[in-house]
Amino acid sequence: MKFSKKKGEVKAEIVVNGAKKFEEYGFEGKEGEILVLPEKKRVYVGIEEINAENLKTATANIIKALKKYKFESVEITPPNTENEDLLIAFFEGFLLGDYEFDKYKSTKAKHPIKEICINSKRNFDKIIKEAKIRAKNINFVRDIINSMPDEITPAKLTAIAEEIAKENNLECKIYDENYLYENGYHAFYSVGKASANPPRLIHLAYKPKNAKRKIVLVGKGLCYDSGGLSLKPADYMVTMKSDKSGAVTVLGIIKAASELGLDVEIHAILGAAENMIGGNAYKPDDVLKAKNGKTIEVRNTDAEGRLVLADCLCYAEENIKDFDKIFDFATLTGACVVGLGEYTAGIMGFNKEQINEILKTSEKTGEHFAYLPFNKYLPKLLKSNVADICNIASSRYGGALTAGLFLSEFVENKEKWTHFDIAGPAYVEKEWGYNPFGASGFGVDSILTYLKSL
């Protein structure tokens, strides 16, 4: 899809808060309403107010609405604003709305709209270039998450990371199961040891000249999660290909940041593994030792993502010196989805100023995060009688918080650390906003905008 200054075959208009109505067609210009008049070559979409999420959704809906017609170009006037975030969102929406995952279908998706015609004398080249990079990488993340687990194994995810490193001039280090075992990453190693597809720790680094900050991004990459010996019910195993979303999100962020040429040094640590069953699977009652020496009592093998992340956090602290911030991303807990719903990610940590900065940034991109605060009563829920800490809490309540608190035990400077539980919005089995069925690529936009602000 390209952008130009030509005249389009059909004209599109975003209607704000009922500013234009077509009562004869039942269109009142309300949020989410779409009206296509093919004989008049017009399409209208309604939004409540102008913000990043609504603009992305509106332009995505224009593309979706026109897929059933034979028009190849659509003309639209961009918002009359100097706000760069709003304009990026406006152009992004077209590309995000055109996405369909059809890799395994014999009948492929149709993409009739080839050109977006901009009705304006302004020059949007810089904005469009950034929007394209962002959308391309969000769709890249969607593709990998949506791909079946038999295809995206830890080895395949490693190969994808290596290819990205080669294309974008990134440093790349890969560590196999032998390295994990021999160097004391036994929590991570144990999760993946029963799988026929052994685990991998992937470390990518983007090092621009004169970098203003050094940021570490850590991602949970469970290429498949059966629950291990604490086996999930069959219904809960479906969609577990999405348990690699944290690692793939981190991969998308560093790829996009390098293509945008951001002045921030970024290290991406991906913990890739499969949590499977077998004669050598790790067991409830096992006591595992993480790289930092802390021992972990395993009471549920389906609380495995935090074990992988624990050692990845330890690796980052040991191998990356003098970083400014460390963020981890994971589809970590069903509790977070119960508490916040499918469309909001939980954000946790000890540095409220840092968390508030990210919350403000997410408003600029139209992604939803909610702060979940720790308190002094939570640590005792992770107390173990046989080890330093337990991998699940003694209470069924507050599971997202206790999982986040568990991770904090593997970070030395807790003021630098922020945890993102993206279990809700990373993968949803229905369309929502500008997102399709399945993977959303959630988090890429907000973190890129945050990194730009540094």
Sign of CA dihedral 373, 331, 131, 56: negative
Beta strand spans in 243-332 (E): 264-275, 287-289, 295-297, 325-330
Give the pLDDT confidence of 31-61 residue by residue, as tens digits.
Answer: 999 999 999 999 999 999 999 999 999 999 9
Q: What is the DSSP letter of 388?
A: S
The pLDDT value recorded for residue 246 is 98
Backbone angles phi and psi of 130, in degrees to 5: -70, -40
Say whether 133-453 and 2-98 share the same fold: no
Backbone angles phi and psi of 267, in degrees to 5: -115, 125
CATH architecture of 133-453: 3-Layer(aba) Sandwich (3.40)
Q: What angle do CA 428, 430, 432 make, to 5 degrees?
A: 85
Q: What is the DSSP letter of 110?
A: P
pTM for the full predicted model:
0.97
The pLDDT value recorded for residue 251 is 98
The pLDDT value recorded for residue 229 is 98
**CA gap 390, 403 in Å, rounded:** 10
Range 246-274 average pLDDT: 98
- Which helix (H) or strand (E) element contains residue 175? strand 171-175
What is the SS3 string spanning 185-196?
CHHHHHHHCCCC
Range 95-99 average pLDDT: 98
Contact at 8 Å (CB) between 222 and 273? yes
Which residues, at least 6 apart from 234, have a Cβ–Cβ distance to it below 8 Å? none
26: Cα separation from own chain's centroid: 37
**Other C-beta atoms within 10 Å of 17: how many?**
12
Q: For residue 200, what are the CA distances in angstroms to 168, 184, 364, 391?
A: 21, 14, 35, 21
The percentage of the chain sitting over the pLDDT mark of 70, rounded to a whole number, equals 100
Fold annotation for 2-98 = Leucine Aminopeptidase, subunit E; domain 1 (3.40.220)
The percentage of the chain sitting over the pLDDT mark of 90, rounded to a whole number, equals 100
Contact at 8 Å (CB) between 219 and 193? no
Give the pLDDT confidence of 81-93 residue by residue, as tens digits.
Answer: 999 999 999 999 9
> What confidence tier does 147 reach under pLDDT thresholds 50, 70, 90?
very high
Q: For residue 36, what are the CA distances in angstroms to 53, 69, 94?
A: 22, 10, 16
> What confidence tier does 146 reach under pLDDT thresholds 50, 70, 90?
very high
The pLDDT value recorded for residue 353 is 97
Amino acid at 430: K
Range 114-122 average pLDDT: 97
| In the chain, domain spans | 2-98, 133-453
Overall size of the chain counted in residues:
454
Residues belonging to the active site? 232, 306
Residue appearing with tokens 């009471």: 299
